[in-house]
Structure formats: structure tokens, C-alpha cells
Amino acid sequence: MARPLTFNVDEALDCAVGVFWQRGYESTTTAVLAQAMGIQKGSLFNKFGDKRSLYLLALKRYLGNVSTDLKANVFVAEHPVEALSDWIASQAEVCSSREGQDGCFIVNTTIEMAGQDPVIAEITKAYWGELENQLAQVLRVGQERGQIRGEIKASTLAHLLMTHLAGMNVIARQGVAPSYFTRCTQALFASFRP
């Protein structure tokens, strides 16, 4: 007879996200994961499968939280372009914090894993595509309202914002000052305005 679970699955997954985020996939062992999650290795394998299966679950959990964050902060705003600017500025603050020095989990995953795992490549490609679509949607609204310059396609501006976000998360690993990202973000949005 199987023993019942004696741990909270969501909390354990959140711990796994933190470990993979900080250490990456290759540098993380199942022993480190089990210890951080507060469970035995046998329980880890029984509930989550192998390390790759757990990584996929952790990645999907992280992406669900990130997507909700953007939609909650930007798409319901009365002034979506300003809300987008504020949201990116908040990401800049996170990047320049001590926690930000681990980068962004999806950026780290894209760098480390997308080139070697086709399933992860599809997940990251879908994430970046959805983010691009969401950003372009906000920028199109801004163009229609005269808040964003109209001579450059919204999709191209969305590419630029995506590159900015990813770049911030890579450079953050060097431990730069908050003002660095703030100035870059302000300059970027200033260049978008008519």
C-alpha cells in the first residue's frame, strides 16, 4: 500500500523553482533538490519523476506566475503604455536587487536549455512569442492613442522591449546599481514617445 503524501506539492514545487533558478539545470542534483524541498529523494522521484520532469513542472509553474503578473499589472490599466513602462521599471528594480543577481528563470532556461532540449525549446519559444504579442498589443494601443510613435511597427518595438528585458536579466548577474537599469528603461521609453 502506497504511503500518503506528507508534504505540500505546491510548496515543494516553489522550492524546486528557487533551486533551479539559482543553480541552473546542470548544476542541480536530485539530492540538492530533495533537501531544499524538504522531502526524501524517493518521494521526489515518486511524485515528480526524474530531474528533467521536475524541471519542466517548475518551469511551467514559474511561467504561469509570470504571465499572470504582466496581465494583472498592464492590461487592466487605464493607461496601458504608462502601466507597461512602470512594469518594466519594476522589473529593472528586481534585476538590480540581490535576488535579481540570479537573473530571470526563463532567460536562464533559454540560455542553458533551449538549445539542447526540444521540449524546453518549444516552451521557451511559446513564452517569448506570447510576451511579444502582449507587448505589441499594448504598444499598438499606445500608437492608436498617439502615446507611442507610429512610424515603427508595434511588433518591432515589442522585439526591442523583449531584448531590453532579457538583457537586463543577463547583466543583473554582474550586480549593477539600480540606477543603471532605471536610466536605460527611461531612455528606451523616451525614444518611443512622439
Rounded CA gap, 41 and 92, in Å? 37
Task: Please count the other Cβ atoms lying within 10 Å of the Cβ belonging to residue 81.
Answer: 20
The values of phi and psi at residue 180, to 5°, are -60, -50
Rounded CA gap, 139 and 149, in Å? 9
CA dihedral 156, 162, 167, 169 (to 10 degrees): 170
- 55-192 fold: Tetracycline Repressor; domain 2 (1.10.357)
pTM of the model: 0.83
Per-residue pLDDT of the chain (194 residues; tens, 9 = 90+): 445 557 788 898 999 999 998 899 999 999 999 999 988 888 888 889 999 999 999 999 988 877 656 666 676 667 878 888 888 888 877 777 666 677 788 889 999 999 999 999 999 999 999 888 889 988 998 899 898 899 999 999 999 999 998 998 888 888 787 788 888 988 998 998 88
CB-CB contact of 54 with 44 (8 Å) = yes
HEC profile of 150-180: CCCCHHHHHHHHHHHHHHHHHHHHHCCCHHH
Assigned C-alpha cell, 22: 539559482
Q: Domain coordinates of the chain in residue numbers?
A: 55-192
